Amino acid sequence: MPNEITIQAAQEKVDNWIKTVGVKYFSELTNLGILMEEVGELSRILVRKYGDQSFKNKEGELLLADEMADVLFVLICLANQTGVDLTTALEKNIEKKTLRDATRHQNNEKLHP
């Protein structure tokens, strides 16, 4: 895939962008606020596209992928600022969920038609 990027490479790319184009990272609390804003924008699109609400005016032109990328960008900023290696964190998280939920979802009648 030509657009393939590792999580580590994404963290490095965002860090480079911040230090060259963005000048410096916003504070962690500011980035937390921005993350919440971006999640809200993503939520607005999902609620209107897959939920019961309808789009207003030109809101339907907003791109779902772009909003997801905004969320990911700010999350990567926070990871970089706090020293979190997202590759390791994700691997550990999947391992935790796999052990914890080994049979949980298989036995959930709500997930089986």
Tokens at 42, concatenated: 């993503």
Helix, coil or strand: residue 19: helix
Mean pLDDT of 2-30: 96
- Report residue 22's pLDDT band, with 50, 70 and 90 as the boundaries: very high
- Higher per-residue pLDDT: 62 or 7: 7
Contact 52, 2 (CB under 8 A): no
pLDDT at res. 54: 85
Q: Is 5 left (phi over 0), alpha (psi -120 to 50) or beta?
A: beta
Average pLDDT, the chain: 92
Q: Which bin fits 38, alpha (ψ -120 to 50), beta or left (φ > 0)?
A: alpha
Candidate CATH numbers 3.40.50.300, 1.10.3370.10, 1.10.287.1080, 3.10.290.10; the one for domain 7-86: 1.10.287.1080
Confidence tier at 60 by pLDDT (50, 70, 90) = low
Q: pLDDT tens for residues 81-99? A: 999 999 999 999 999 999 9
Grouping H, G, I as helix, E, B as strand and the rest as coil, residue 94 is helix
Residue 33 pLDDT > 90, yes or no? yes
Calpha distance 74→35 (Å, rounded): 6
Instruction: Over range 51-55, report the average pLDDT.
Output: 87
Q: 10, exposed or middle or buried, with CB in 10 Å at 0-12, 13-18, 19+?
A: middle
Q: What is the DSSP letter of 27?
A: P
